[in-house]
Amino acid sequence: MVAILSVLLVVVLVAVLGVLLSGVIVFARGGEINRRWSNRLMNLRVGTQALAVIILGLILWLRHS
């Protein structure tokens, strides 16, 4: 179970990185695309980071149980 969660954690962390880079690119372009996407991307990043923290907590909990 820990191995599956570890792989899932890596996938979620890559997703966090992708959303973060997308947000930086949108911010750098500015204008209308920034107004339309910046808040959505920030919320998506926060959500994926929360998921990563939950998965990490599960891994630590299962290893110590």
Write out pLDDT tens, residues 9-62. 999 999 999 999 999 999 999 999 999 999 999 999 999 999 999 999 999 999
DSSP 38: H
Residue 38, domain extent: 2-64
- Read off the pLDDT band of 65 (50, 70, 90): confident
The angle that helices 2-29 and 31-64 make with each other, rounded to 10 degrees, is: 160
Name the nearest CA neighbour of 13 among 51, 60, 63, 64: 51
Name the nearest CA neighbour of 1 among 47, 9, 53: 9
Domain count of the fold of the chain: 1
CA–CA distance, 34 with 31 (Å, rounded to integer): 5
Name the nearest CA neighbour of 4 among 59, 63, 53: 59
pLDDT value for 27:
94
